[in-house]
Structure 1
Amino acid sequence: MRAFRAGLLSTCLVAVMCPPVAADPDGPSSREVERARQTVRERSHDLSRTTAELVTAQSRLNELAAAVERLVEAYNGEVVRLRQAEQAHAQAQVRLAAAAVEVERARQDAALLATESYGGLGSLKPFMGMIVDRGGTDGFLHRAGVLGHLRDERAAFLRRVRDAQEVETILRTQAEWAHAAQQEASERARQAKLAAEAAVARQRRDTRELVARKDSLERQVDAARTRAELLARQRAAATAGLVAGGSAMGDLAANWALTQLGKPYVWAAAGPQTYDCSGLTMRAWERAGVGLDHWTGTQWTSGPHVPLDQLRRGDLLFFGHITSDPATIHHVGIYVGRGQMVHAPQTGDVVRVASIWRGDLVGATRPR
């Protein structure tokens, strides 16, 4: 298809822009022109539909960007809650350790009391004393009071142990809850982060696809309009029996350049299937018997400079960053008539026809 399109475009341009020699009876028929116009209408319809899709895609891209921001903020919130849970867990662990120390101290005191109160024969002494009581300070009533005091002291110790154990249990539960909250917050933070990263990746893919579709659409629209316009011009020229004029060598170079339409741009390439800008112009003038270097620098000085109002087919047109400074030249095309040139534009594009009237036009040279 690319070869067919390139051949068709080159045929059209040659017919419109070559020197007048005779009427061309083999121009496109009115049916062919109508088919070409129908193709333009169909592509225009595709353009409208694709434009609408691009608008939708851009809207989706904006929504996705906003969603990413929300997910990132959700992640930030989970990180804050995670830190709070970690602090709560650390504080609970400190309280739990203190409670454990208190329980152990109470247990040791209770064990000591039990040893003193019940160890060996000591536990029978109060009862033996009551049996052999002789009165006095070691009498029954005194010993009964001592036993009661001992019972009260043991009860207090037991309550202390029990209270310490209850506090330890409460703090242990709190620590477990804090730890569980920490784990849940950590998992939520991880999931939020993964979701944000996935959304960012989708956003980048969508952006790349959007840019690629936009570039492809622009090339399709340009190709459709160029083809329709050139077919119409060819039909008009054939009907009127007109062809354009120019010098013989320039015509050879320009006509050959038109046969290369549609071939891909490749940096530093000079044919036969791919070209860069100076590679294309070098090969074009090679067909006319003029040798040029594969460099815009020497091509600029390959012949006299031509005023733009005196251009002829085959003249080389140069473009630079500073139009008044030829040292900034970075691009070259070959003039084919009617304000148009053939050139190899840039990476990702193909050899095609374009207007010479660009803001970075420096001047023209006629090789010899």
Structure 2
Amino acid sequence: MRAFRAGLLVCCVLAVFCPPVVAEPRPSTRDVERARQAVHQRSKELGRTNAELATAQARLDELAAEAGRLVEAYNGARVLLRRAEQTHEQAKARLTAADAEVEAARRDVAVLAAESYGGLGLMGPMVGMLVDRGTTDGYLHRASILGHLQGQRAAILTRMRDAQEVAAILRTQAAGAHVAQQAAAERARQAETAAREAVARQRRETRALRDRKETLQRKLDAARSRAERLARKRAASVAGLLGRGSTRGDVAANWALSQLGKPYVWAADGPSSYDCSGLTMRAWERAGVRLDHWTGTQWTSGPRVPLDQLRRGDLLFFGRITDDPGSIHHVGIYVGRGQMVHAPQTGDVVRVASIWRGDLVGATRPR
């Protein structure tokens, strides 16, 4: 009896502290289908997000290219305006000299007129010829004097006429140069307005696009900041890795590397900020080569260089090749190993980047 009670007690204890193992229920077909639908939905959302990000990035690239094109158009308009101003100043200087010549000729004519009116000059030799009863030589001498005076009078009048004609021509040229200067100034004003609006539009839309992808942008900014700090810290060693030398191209490339981290500002050419053609202009200035602050003329500053024959310092151009130099909207300077230094766009800084972009159109070697 005691044994039975003891066994019963053990069973009760086991029943309380060791409940029977119940197998977990297997997921139903509906549960599996729901999970599959959730995975599919997340995949669709990820695809839409990636597509949106790709569209946003394409729009950013489009905005940057358009802003760059208009900024370089403004740079070109400023170059052409300076040339028009120089032409106008030269035309005014030539006109001033011509007017002075007209005044000098006019004074000589006034003297001639006064002499003719007062009976001087020509009357003396004529009277002498009439009253001379001496030798034939005396008569001939007086005749030669009269001929000389008449020739001198004709020369004075001819000089006056020629000076007036030259002044009239130069006055027309000066007026044309003034009109051309005014037109160039207006084009520069319009180009500045267009560039300013494009940069403002770029900033607005960029801000909106970046707001939509804030997390990604923070990561990108953090990575970029770190890369830029490292680039600035190691600028000298980067220059060493990319090649040392004393050619003019090396001088330009090494100087460009020393500007890493400085902000992009449109139409700026240093020393604290740059746009793309301002940076390359100053880099080659260090090498003793004068370039305009404009991709349009930098594109023609030297011979074309095949991309498989690039040397440090060569200028790399981006955009489209047409008869319009404004279709080239960006330029960088080659530093070796497929890399360039460039001032990219508003909101960015001078940095090292790969040259291999879809809008790369060619390279030149300034001289």
TM-score by length of 1: 0.42
